[in-house]
Amino acid sequence: MSLNAESTAFRSALEVIRAVEPRVADAIGAELADQRESLKLIASENYASPATLLAMGNWFSDKYAEGTIGRRFYAGCQNVDTVEALAAEHARELFGAAHAYVQPHSGIDANLVAFWAILADRVESPALKKAQVRQVNDLTEADWFALRRELGNQRMLGMSLDAGGHLTHGFRPNISGKMFDQRSYGTDPATGLIDYDNVAEAAREFKPLILVAGYSAYPRKVNFRIMREIADSVGATFMVDMAHFAGLVAGKVFTGDFDPVPHAHIVTTTTHKSLRGPRGGMVLCGPELADQVDRGCPMVLGGPLPHVMAAKAVALAEARRPDFADYAQRIVDNARALAEGLTRRGAKLVTGGTDNHLVLIDVTGYGLTGRQAEQALLDSGIVTNRNAVPQDPNGAWYTSGIRIGTPALTSRGLGTAEMDATAELIHTVLTQTTSGESKAKYVLDPALADKVSKQASDLLTTFPLYPAVDLG
């Protein structure tokens, strides 16, 4: 029997790898097997298409290409120019953005590019004006000292980590918390929702240079029109990190006030997660910041990864197809079904439900920490990650929550009925797990874990992962 193109490609690749280091080939095969057999509910993970995966394994990996399209520091980049231009074109068309920069290696890199682009654009020190210095790479230590004073110590107002924000939005141990004099806005203690009046009050008091919106674990929509009005009222640059929900924007599930691109001065994102592309980052902006953003390399980034930019071009082309909009809507439908199934079974959810792709369970109602719940679920074939909840008594390491998301299972074709069955499996494990002698240790009957793991595997039987890929 002849093999299809996908099976031939991946089998051949593993044979070549095995000839050099068989343990790597074995690990690659084992990873596919593990992903096929487990319920992957990590909200930041997905399954890239075979075309996207294959676009990363080629000769573009061998090429240095510092600079931008047509302005490289290395010769022979004409083919890199082609794939970078294609990725940027697809991004602009997909999101309705004036400019797209597709070089960032990750979401953190994309945020750093945005931060420095904003700072460079805001250079207002008389000394710097006199020197006519406009590029970040040209600034001396004395220049930066003067700039920080001029800009009020580079102030940032972002969503707090325990309220659902990301560590790059000013978390102290992160570089963003060291670059900026930072404050956080949280959520209403009673509802878990953003209180826009409180955000506005914090902005008036703090007068940030940058107001950041976006989240890593907030299960609701954000009104970006209101956030832009708040930013404008204090003269702040409005930045949105849409890494988690970019696929919902691309699929036109989030529109109007809930689409960040028309409202933000600058938007950052990853290209995986709900966008279903390769691991990487991207920056979208208007023409006023485009020149500064395009200096991301060498301002912040090292050499671009042309093979990943090629994969971004493929994934963004896929996201422009009509069926991606259907996929994005099913992500949200499945998340709501999962939330409803958990709520009916007595689970306590942060904000009481979801409007997007993720659900945040407060597991203190089960007498567990997030770390205990995460591991117990993993033992049972359900892959999640622990996450802080608002005002979390257990902190950011042990946590009191479990974050679950539906992009990956939706990619496999699971629907709302399967989400209810998944809720039952999660509830079963959490109700049968008891806290151990520390915040990390727990007790779960191995027989029950095996039973749930078998049920999870059975649930996935009719939804094969990469059905066109047969490794033999």
Active site residues: 64, 66, 241, 270, 273, 279
How far apart are alpha carbons 80 and 74 in whole angstroms?
11
How far apart are alpha carbons 81 and 431 in whole angstroms?
55
CB within 8 Å of 398: residues ≥ 6 apart: 369, 370, 371, 386, 439, 440
- Determine if residue 53 is left, alpha or beta; phi over 0 gives left, psi from -120 to 50 gives alpha, anything else beta: alpha
**Listed residue (347, 329, 266) closest to 101, CA to CA:** 266
What is the DSSP-derived secondary structure letter of residue 11?
H
CB within 8 Å of 255: residues ≥ 6 apart: none
How far apart are alpha carbons 328 and 319 in whole angstroms?
10
Q: Which long-range contacts (CB under 8 A, 24 or more apart) does 184-187 make?
A: 184/157, 184/158, 184/159, 184/160, 185/157, 185/158, 185/159, 185/160, 186/159, 186/160, 186/162, 186/390, 187/163, 187/218, 187/390
**Listed residue (325, 311, 414) closest to 50, CA to CA:** 311
